[in-house]
Structure 1
């Protein structure tokens, strides 16, 4: 009598735990846009999500500690910390920065270059101020946000149709893209060349999403010819056949992959699903191992993923998602069951920190570097707020966008100086009168 052997893995019993009601973000109207995006971004200090509002373009930015009830707060909330980058439907992207006392109204930087709606924005993983954007104009632009200039352009000759997804490699040397033309591409953005491409990684007509994973591999999600959802793992050096291809179900929602390089776990979150599947990636066949699935009653409109440094290491939390409902955002903690209260070094190897390893100039000159790693043994303490350094003198688009000319500025300053001089004269007269009164007594 044979006995089925269960694969040994320390992540086999990872379980998801939704937050209690008083730890959820209530009364938020999540966007109903059909774009295949998570609609949510999160870091150790703040939560940002796209909201439904007349005219579009509204979003919320909340401190993580500001949970329900939100009451009558509107769609524009204050933001503090590293700049938030927003892709807009008006073909522009804006960096927004501010304090905790005023709403966000004026962008720090506005980048103008796309001719149609911007759907994807992604920071370079290791180079400072380098931002990638992709729009419905089939163009990918790489920006130096510090100068406000587009430094690299991948035109419609590279992607003849809409770009569905873009992901940086861990050191930022390459990007992988999926396109409506059914092709998966690995691109060297500084040279503008396609290193390798794969036609129809999934046979279905629905969108494909792709992310870099460990050891030079790429994971894709898509649909079969019979509209079954699939997940596949590919070796970038041999794209003829996948290392692993698994069919999941017949749901229609596009699967969004989130990869954790520290644990080699990939999480699949489907738009419209009520579950999160997770797989472990190994270097030996069959390479992609199903672990388990977290399920809940309500479906998700989007999903945000917390960086590793924002997790509670004393609770063996290895991932945290922010699930968007129709009118609520619900944190979900993924935890490894451990009895010990000691720091679990096997669960928390050194992880990517918030500081860049390269400047934009160094990366553009051809240098590559992996992320600067930090230890989570004593927990992560967020650094003081960083300001986005923008060289406004080099930002041509910013100079064009301003409504005041140099002469207007000079005239306004001269008028303010005249008013100030008048105020000083009035104060001097008042002082003279007081002195005369004192001497008379």
Structure 2
């Protein structure tokens, strides 16, 4: 595979060393999702996940996209071919039994849902995009679709959707070969670019620093390209680079703390990364991580989940056919002290706005936290849903009378049955171990 061209002198291309970590976990594909055990400060277990591991299995068709909530580490949203979006609450410590009942089911799409994305700063605001060419913005707290961008905005399949850092805008790429910047609360297209890349293959677009947009696509000769655009002047790109002739669509992941964008291609065995600056040539090639096996997909760890004492600036989860491999991006430093230049204040778990405030027209950037002493997860937060579907809320709310309700009794009886089953399994295991010791 040819190396990407260097439009200018690379900005210290040896400063970033990519180190694959040991440990992998199986990930279930289809309508069920397995929770992989991956090496991290919060999950020290590694290795193959047991085939009987509990699953999140509420969808009736394959799951196409998932997204962890940025404001609640226990909440995940999933979009599926069954035309629904489901929001799940994972208990502390992980699943003991299969999780079949979501906190809330969001129904509104008429075709499969391929994209889900949480609002970066407003609590309980979730976006979904389906193959019905419709984007819905949900208030998860009420379970209702509060905003709709219909087929009049996107006349064809939506390839990608990304929120701006303060959540005021979204940028989308569509099969009609247009990239749009949209104000979702007004439903208006703020800026639009026709054919940012001349090729016919899918284009992906993400917001980067200073309100710019980065796109990946293909040239007329099927060469993969990456381009940087100023949303105020979309006539010509600030930077356009051709990379190679591979056929995999490039997925961009942007880190606003370091202004580094990582490009991961489906079917590739490499990850390229570039630095974005405010001066020409704007997009600087840094380096490339390569491995022997190609990736079927890629996940990205939020900054607060990284190991700052090892100068880890990014971590990816590379999906193979039967395993998930963590890949850490580290900057070699001799000092053991906290590296402030690598870890400026980053987005924390607290939302800056409520859903009502954002819908009312307010915008706010993320609330920042320091990683100097490492990230300490807050106490488990309850996902509040005002439709009677929030079990966590029911558990936390005392009954109005001194006599527990039938629902409370049923939940307690179910918990007792689950505990009895666990005790029985442990007892059987203990008996087998005793038999083994006696046989020896």
If the length of structure 1 is used for normalisation, what is the TM-score?
Answer: 0.80
Aligned partner (choices 50, 58, 79) of residue 32 of structure 2:
58
* Structure 1 position 343, deviation (Å): 0.4
* Structure 1 position 216, deviation (Å): 1.4
**Match status 1:285 vs 2:264:** no
Aligned to 2:75: 83
Cα RMSD over matched residues?
2.4
Instruction: Single out whichever of 139-148 and 386-395 deviates more from structure 2.
Output: 386-395
Matches of 1:5 and 1:301, distance apart in 2: 30
**Match status 1:237 vs 2:237:** no
**Match status 1:133 vs 2:135:** no
- Residues 387-441 of structure 1 show CA distances to partners (whole Å, capped at 9, x for unaligned) of 210001699xxxxxxxxxxxxxxxx969x99xxxxxxxxxxxxxxxxxxxxxxxx
**Match status 1:204 vs 2:196:** no
**Match status 1:13 vs 2:15:** yes
Report matched runs for 1:154-193 at 5 Å: 154-193=149-188
- Residues 268-299 of structure 1 show CA distances to partners (whole Å, capped at 9, x for unaligned) of 00000000000000000000000000000000
Aligned to 2:436: none
- Residues 27-85 of structure 1 show CA distances to partners (whole Å, capped at 9, x for unaligned) of x2xxxxxxxxxxxxxxxxxxxx5x23xxx311122454242132323571699952110
Matches of 1:167 and 1:71, distance apart in 2: 35
Alpha carbons 1:148, 1:394 under 8 Å: kept: no
Alpha carbons 2:248, 2:267 under 8 Å: kept: yes
Matches of 1:270 and 1:206, distance apart in 2: 13
* Structure 1 position 9, deviation (Å): 3.8
Aligned to 1:323: 318
Alpha carbons 2:206, 2:213 under 8 Å: kept: yes
- 3-state DSSP class of the match of 1:392? coil
**Match status 1:94 vs 2:86:** yes
* Structure 1 position 307, deviation (Å): 0.7
- Residues 78-103 of structure 1 show CA distances to partners (whole Å, capped at 9, x for unaligned) of 99952110101100011112433222
Matches of 1:147 and 1:189, distance apart in 2: 19
Matches of 2:101 and 2:302, distance apart in 1: 27
Aligned to 1:260: 255
Aligned partner (choices 32, 43, 47) of residue 68 of structure 1:
47
- Residues 131-152 of structure 1 show CA distances to partners (whole Å, capped at 9, x for unaligned) of 0000000000000000000000
Alpha carbons 2:344, 2:370 under 8 Å: kept: yes
Alpha carbons 1:271, 1:302 under 8 Å: kept: yes
- Residues 360-380 of structure 1 show CA distances to partners (whole Å, capped at 9, x for unaligned) of 000000000000000000000
Alpha carbons 1:62, 1:77 under 8 Å: kept: no
Aligned to 1:399: none
Specify whether residues 272 and 360 from structure 1 end up closer, same or farther in structure 2 by C-alpha distance, changes over 3 A only.
Answer: same
- Residues 328-360 of structure 1 show CA distances to partners (whole Å, capped at 9, x for unaligned) of 100001011111110000110000001100000
Aligned to 1:375: 370
Matches of 2:389 and 2:46, distance apart in 1: 41
Alpha carbons 2:224, 2:245 under 8 Å: kept: yes
Matches of 2:277 and 2:7, distance apart in 1: 18
Instruction: Single out whichever of 380-389 and 346-355 deviates more from structure 2.
Output: 380-389
Q: Which has the larger radius of gyration?
A: 1
If the length of structure 2 is used for normalisation, what is the TM-score?
Answer: 0.80
Aligned to 2:24: 24
**Match status 1:388 vs 2:383:** yes
Specify whether residues 8 and 338 from structure 1 end up closer, same or farther in structure 2 by C-alpha distance, changes over 3 A only.
Answer: farther
Specify whether residues 158 and 343 from structure 1 end up closer, same or farther in structure 2 by C-alpha distance, changes over 3 A only.
Answer: same
Matches of 2:11 and 2:339, distance apart in 1: 15
Alpha carbons 1:88, 1:117 under 8 Å: kept: yes
Runs (4+) of structure 1 exceeding 3 A deviation are 4-12, 77-81
Contiguous gaps of at least 5 residues in structure 2: 1-5, 58-67, 391-404, 411-440
- 3-state DSSP class of the match of 2:136? strand
Alpha carbons 1:81, 1:97 under 8 Å: kept: no
* Structure 1 position 6, deviation (Å): 7.9
- 3-state DSSP class of the match of 1:286? coil
**Match status 1:306 vs 2:301:** yes
- 3-state DSSP class of the match of 1:215? helix
Specify whether residues 254 and 8 from structure 1 end up closer, same or farther in structure 2 by C-alpha distance, changes over 3 A only.
Answer: closer
